[in-house]
Structure 1
Amino acid sequence: MIYDPSRANPLSGNPLKTRDDLAKAVIDLFEPLLPYFSEGGARVRLGAAGAIFDRAAADLEGYARPLWGIVPLAAGGGHFPHWNLYRRGLANGTNPAHPEYCGDLADRNQRLVELAAVGFALALVPEHIWEPLSDGEKRTVAAYLLAARELEFIDNNWKFFRVLIDLGLERVGVAFDMAKTAAYLDELEAFDIGEGWYRDGPVRRVDHYIPFAMHFYGLIYTVLARGDEARKNRFRDRAEIFARDIRHWFGPDGAALAFGRSQTYRFAAGGFWGALAFAGLEALPWAEVKGYYMRHIRWWSALPIADRDGVLAIGYGYPNLLMSESYNSPGSPYWALKFFLPLALPQDHSFWTAEEAPQPDFPEPVALKPAGMVAMHTPGNVVVFSSGQQHDKMRGANEKYSKFVYSTRYAFNIEADDRNFAAASFDGMLGLSDDGVHFRMRETLEEALMAGDRLYSRWRPWQDVSIETWLIPAKPWHIRIHRISTPRALSTIEGGFAIERADFNADRSEQGEGRAVWYGQTDVSGIVDLSPNLRAGHAMSPIPNTNLIHAKTLLPQLRGEIGPGTTVLVTAAMALPNWADWAEALGNPPACPDLEEVERDIGENGVRVPAFALRP
């Protein structure tokens, strides 16, 4: 038998054009889990990989997360044949006397996350998961949920989980103190940073948690909560504004921007578009919303995202633990099923009857001001420049948040060996080393400013080394200017975009003074030095399994040495699909900008990036 990637995706072969196609997709994604349910139905263990929380909580994750797709399917009249299994699991898992008890609750505990799916199910389809329970089972389930809502939830999107638990309890007639619900909702709204954007807690970053968590749960609240109309209107107003920005995190082929943590949740990124539909909020024309939504799931259907038995694997474009977070258990990827929320809507809803519209044209760069990002649409791709994002408490945080540029078509690489400077990728990034072995790159920022479509950041790879970086779009290229002040000599490597590598050395490369190009089978990626003193071009093949989408990639780099004092490096980089006019672009790289003019522009017009500027 030869490994067939199409078998490693339950969505493969599904045209994913209609509501019925999506209903089938939910069942196809769920059925591979059936052999892994425990006898009592309360636990689903999908693999041996561990997470920071205990196995019982991970098993609850495997049980609960599929509900995000199953519940809308049932609410919209679809048939799910395994409700008895879920009811049995809920009754047993919340019963301290049962061998499959999910475990005691505690502040900031993973169980609080997963119980949100149970609350969602109680709120939307109590006839399937609550009403058939015996009175004793109902008391057991209610006691567990009531105990959960009294605990402390992490100060970020987790606070919506108490809200979702409470929506379920309210729907099934279980009394509780709603003052705590209102308090958490107020605290969640305090994360608003304007123009429809939130922070996910008191942090200097915005990521996919804004669309697929903050807005997603807020829009569910607008539909399921009773009263509270002023807050619901605020949630809706913010989502309507946000839609105009977040569409620039999606490419014309449906791919989402590979950026930030929790990429293993995959098509949860498209859940925002489905939440707009669920809330009846036509933030963009329904045809456009549906286009973003349906293209996204079709993009995922072509990738080998599951194991051989059809169980979604930790990873992104393929199974890959390197890019995972410490909180990713084998059941974690099933948050992807949040995508299917619109199945709760009837077939004749305007969202479902609309004809898909293609992504509009955006010939000029678009500033996403609260995020400190600029989106530039190029053939087959959206390139997003970033200054203002940082995360210093997880593996790969530098790569996930602090690169200069991200892309919907060319996903970023995670560095696999921090003691091998020569083998590092530094795609979309400048890497530096003072010993030729270990290395540093942009991690946290001292300042992040934005002036129109230009970005500025100041950062320190070492305490005694200061770097100022300016990012300038020059479609289809972009320009990076780095002014480096160092008391000692440093080695530097700067990378362009990583593209897919073919087998049998079928790709072609060029490398020389101040320039490197990879001519791949599907794409061309180039990098050019615009500095006064040219660095050496280098066509490298990064360590396998470091890129999020492709297991093997090609990457053009510039490599050089700088001495003590102040040095200015200027770089131009681009990548284009083979069907685009890449030859014209390669033959006409942008000119080196006037640094004095760029610096003056930032000085006169630059404003602090809201995502970076934490409130006191």
Structure 2
Amino acid sequence: MNSAGLTLNNREEVSCLARSLLAAAEPWLDSNRARLDLGNSCAHYGHDIGGIEAFSRLLWGMAPLLAGGETPARLMDYIATIKAGVTPGHSGYWGDIGPFDQRVVEMAAFGLLLAIAPQPLLAHFSEVERQRLWRWLKQSEQAEIPDNNWHFFPILVQVGFRAAGLPFDMTVVERHFASMEAYWLGEGWYSDGPGRPRDYYIAMGFHFYGLLYARLMADIDPERCALLRQRATRFARDFIHFFDEEGAAIPFGRSLTYRFAQGAFWSACAFTGLEPFAPGVIKGLVLRHLRWWMRQPIFDRDGVLSVGYCYPNLVMAEDYNAPGSPYWALKTLLVLALEESHPFWQAPELPLPPLAAQHSIPQADQVLVRQGRHLWMATAGQLELNNYVNTEAKYCKFAYSSRFGFTLERGRFGLPHAAVDSMMLLSEGDAYWRGRRDCERVETWDGIIYSRWRPWPEVQIDSWQLALGEWQVRVHHLFSDRPLESAEGGFSLPGQQVNTRVEPGACWLHSGESRSGILDIGTPARCGEVVMTPPNSNLMWPERCAIPVLRGELSAGEHLLCCAVWAGDSDVTGQEPPRLQREGQQIVICHGERQTAFRLVATGRTL
């Protein structure tokens, strides 16, 4: 796929991008088999359903083109594939679905297609063929599905049925919305199921689909549609803090291979006419995000989207990521359903509005910090209960960065494999490392996150994460019944040409335009060290990376470990590091004229 020369400044350029994305994948379309085979890697649902997924995900780009009045070059191949896929007895039949079936996910794309472009599609279907499509999609009505964002997929199918003049069942819609109401946390936020994380699925899932519903069903379900718009408006005031001035978003959580689906929420705002910010601001969010991604090497030699984040990388894939999975990124191209005369396209592109340097989100236990050319997020309590690959690395670190990414675990034996960036890891002296995973308690208030966690049942750690200007401060109150080794890391840098400064109580790295460091504050008890990771560990860079680390040995008993972390432009001196003072159980962090105080949580033991 060649996006060279595309400025992505207007609708025609974005349309050209969409057509190019589709064209790169279409040579692998087999309309007789009703599959799109893009590669040889596999997801847990196998190659066959993976081929169905790959085809259906192209519809997220094809449907807006049709709705916007364009005719994709290979429209009739798409139609032939759909007809084959929904015809029982045909060699390409997509089959009857079972419990927790991936095909239910992919049905949502057909719901969108039927909802926003019913005539350009169904004009090529006979009545018998329409009935076959309806019957195949109708399986979603009674499907057994996970208790999470999947509830929206049967809803979108019903929305498509209604728009296309096919029989639809409002009780299906009611049932699934009732299930999702249990996830509502308030102030614009859901969790992705009971006790589940608050990650990009809230934006590209719940609110994206909710806004589609709000536009397409407003005439028959006005009260719910108004509520969905209200919730999305509130969410937007938090979500804008996830994007930097260049269009990059903070990588965090699972399903990062969907890439520019991170910005799909803003496209849904435009599609729905929702204006949490001026149309030019929303336009800028969408277009800068697309431009940033088009500058990354995310395509293979044939121009097909790869599995990975900023480069092809199967190490970071979940077990549900097949070769065609990344094409969910096309959801952000929903703005192509809007005609050239729409306010979104007519508005001049605007930069981000003035945003606070620090923004706390208690519902998500996140604190966002905007620091020059470095946007980062502190978080806690975000365990993914399904234990997807690299869950701790994707959810449980102390911080995530739009500029420095994060490192994936490549093995528990040996610190270089253990993803120590933005983590504190502990070992019993055997080179097997454990860090924060589940949290017993989490509290978030203005710029501070507190968590209690146990790497072993007999080892208790209370951690405070503080955002103080450009500095990230971490305070750990630890009790252990055994001696332990500790290692705590800052943000990683690409490690080919890294200059280092290592000393007692500090480690600083310098590489090109970037600098990253970590230092003990209070009473230094740890030594600086540089840890080099294996290739393909960091989501941003394929080469080996360097992590600034503090190392130390802990005797059995109680300890107070405190560090300050800084990363950013190499030519920025930065403010003076914070200082720690302790008065009994009272901890005071001094930073300039600001003082932040809190008390250590009672443990039943005397420090």
TM-score, with length taken from structure 1? 0.93
2:477 is aligned to 483
Sequence identity, in percent?
A: 36
1:212-611 map, 5 Å:
212-225=204-217, 226-392=219-385, 393-502=387-496, 506-552=497-543, 553-578=545-570, 581-585=571-575, 588-594=576-582, 596-597=586-587
AA partner of residue 64 (structure 2): P
Aligned residues of 1:456 and 1:602 also touching (Cα < 8 A): no
C-alpha distance in structure 2 between counterparts of 1:604 and 1:499, whole Å = 33
C-alpha distance in structure 2 between counterparts of 1:604 and 1:398, whole Å = 25
Greater relative CO (CA pairs within 8 A, separation 6+): 1
- Change in Cα spacing, 1:54 to 1:422, as seen in structure 2 (3 Å) is closer
- Change in Cα spacing, 1:157 to 1:129, as seen in structure 2 (3 Å) is same
Aligned residues of 1:501 and 1:554 also touching (Cα < 8 A): yes
How big is each residue's C-alpha offset from its partner over 1:332-369, in whole Å with a ceiling of 9 and x where there is no partner? 00000001111111112222122222223435421112
Aligned residues of 2:416 and 2:534 also touching (Cα < 8 A): no
SS in 2 for 1:61: helix
C-alpha distance in structure 2 between counterparts of 1:452 and 1:498, whole Å = 27
C-alpha distance in structure 1 between counterparts of 2:445 and 2:597, whole Å = 7
Shift of 1:562: 0.6
C-alpha distance in structure 1 between counterparts of 2:199 and 2:225, whole Å = 23
C-alpha distance in structure 1 between counterparts of 2:546 and 2:76, whole Å = 50
Aligned residues of 1:500 and 1:523 also touching (Cα < 8 A): no
AA partner of residue 579 (structure 2): A
Match status 1:83 vs 2:71: no
C-alpha distance in structure 2 between counterparts of 1:421 and 1:46, whole Å = 36
AA partner of residue 135 (structure 1): E
2:604 is aligned to none
Shift of 1:598: 5.7
SS in 2 for 1:537: strand
274-283 or 93-102, which deviates more: 93-102
1:129 is aligned to 121
| Equivalent residue for 2:104, pick from 98, 103, 112 | 112
Shift of 1:131: 2.4
Shift of 1:58: 0.8
AA partner of residue 136 (structure 1): V
SS in 2 for 1:592: strand
| Equivalent residue for 1:101, pick from 93, 100, 105 | 93
C-alpha distance in structure 2 between counterparts of 1:593 and 1:20, whole Å = 59
AA partner of residue 105 (structure 1): I
The runs of at least 4 aligned residues of structure 1 exceeding 6 Å deviation read none
Aligned residues of 1:391 and 1:444 also touching (Cα < 8 A): no
Match status 1:163 vs 2:191: no
Aligned residues of 1:490 and 1:563 also touching (Cα < 8 A): yes
Aligned residues of 1:372 and 1:386 also touching (Cα < 8 A): yes
C-alpha distance in structure 1 between counterparts of 2:57 and 2:193, whole Å = 23
Shift of 1:113: 0.4
Unmatched 5+ residue regions in structure 2?
A: 590-595, 602-607
Aligned residues of 2:57 and 2:106 also touching (Cα < 8 A): yes
Aligned residues of 1:422 and 1:436 also touching (Cα < 8 A): no
C-alpha distance in structure 2 between counterparts of 1:299 and 1:23, whole Å = 17
AA partner of residue 586 (structure 2): E
Shift of 1:436: 2.9
Number of equivalenced pairs: 590
1:64 is aligned to 56
SS in 2 for 1:484: strand
TM-score, with length taken from structure 2? 0.94
Shift of 1:593: 5.0
2:32 is aligned to 40
Unmatched 5+ residue regions in structure 1?
A: 1-8, 606-616
AA partner of residue 278 (structure 1): F
AA partner of residue 467 (structure 1): I
- Change in Cα spacing, 1:476 to 1:446, as seen in structure 2 (3 Å) is same
Shift of 1:153: 2.5
Aligned residues of 1:252 and 1:381 also touching (Cα < 8 A): no
How big is each residue's C-alpha offset from its partner over 1:126-169, in whole Å with a ceiling of 9 and x where there is no partner? 22322211222222111111123222222111111001111111
RMSD: 1.8
